[in-house]
Amino acid sequence: MKKFLTVFLLCLFLFPMTAFAETTSLNLIDTLKDDDITLSSTTYSESDEKATVYLFRGKGCGYCHAFLEFLNSITEEYGKYFNLRSYEVWYNEENSNLLSTVSNYLGQPAGGVPYIVIGDKVFAGYASGYDEDIKSAIVALYNTPAGERYDVLKKIDEEGYVYVPSDNDTAGDTATTGSDTYANESRSTGETSDAIWTFLFVAVGTGAVILYDYKKYSKIQEDLEEIKKKIKK
């Protein structure tokens, strides 16, 4: 009885933690800290008026670190133009899935990281030769009226697109092919529905086992009481 009750309680507490996993992002300051880089600007701050630079990165990726060093080096002059939203994809499966969705939606395959998105411009990888183009893209996006700025994550959310890998794709692989497709459905809604149904199945099944075990235990107790009464007589 106690054994099954323990399993049931573990399902209740541990299942939601895994079933409802979400993407997580960091801003520029926290991303630099996470990569052991000290912010060079003393005036940088987040602002809703600024353009958003999306970065998909891997913890420990050398090219990602190089890009962050570059971004840090221009914050004094260009920090007034941009915010950063970074997604670590090597250790976060949901972030990795988001990268697949974004890269396929944009039609720009992500063969690895860093994968940088500024408006509708994509930089798949990083090299110092990209520096001027990145700065130009940041300023151009900032100078676009806020209501007209292209934001890929907002577009994906509004249109309800989610990336569905083809049978030839391997799990967690960010490379894409022409056979990749999209499902016109809500990513979060689908995942949440599956999680709820799975949780209910586990809960009902475990509850049934506990109930059966309890009835069996009660029957044994009744038999013992009957034996005791007969012995006393």
Higher-pLDDT residue of 171, 111:
111
Strand (E) positions, 68-173? Answer: 82-88, 115-118, 121-124, 161-164
Which carries the bigger pLDDT value, residue 205 or residue 99? 99
Write the pLDDT tens digit of every residue in 150-175. 999 999 999 999 888 765 554 333 33
Please tell me the distance from the alpha carbon of residue 14 to that of residue 3, in angstroms, as a whole number.
16
> Among the CATH numbers 3.40.30.10, 3.20.19.10, 3.30.1340.30, 3.10.105.10, which is that of 22-185?
3.40.30.10
The domain segmentation of the chain, as residue ranges, is 22-185
Token pair of 126, please? Answer: 């990083």
Q: Is 22 exposed, middle or buried (0-12, 13-18, 19+ CB in 10 A)?
A: exposed
Q: Compute the distance between CA of residue 153 and CA of residue 98 in angstroms, rounded to an integer.
A: 9
Choose the weakest-confidence range: 30-39, 67-76, 143-152, 199-208: 199-208
Name the residue with higher pLDDT: 227 or 5: 227
Residue with more model confidence, 4 or 28: 28
With helix as H, strand as E and coil as C, how does 2-32 read? HHHHHHHHHHHHHHHHHHCCCCCCECHHHHH
21 CB-contact burial (10 Å; exposed 0-12 / middle 13-18 / buried 19+): middle
Q: Mean pLDDT of all residues in the chain?
A: 79
Question: What's the pLDDT band for 26 if we cut at 50, 70, 90?
Answer: very high
Instruction: Show the tokens assigned to 68.
Output: 């962050």
Task: Measure the CA dihedral 48/50/55/61, to 10°.
Answer: -110
The pTM score is: 0.66
Confidence band for 77, pLDDT divided at 50, 70 and 90: very high
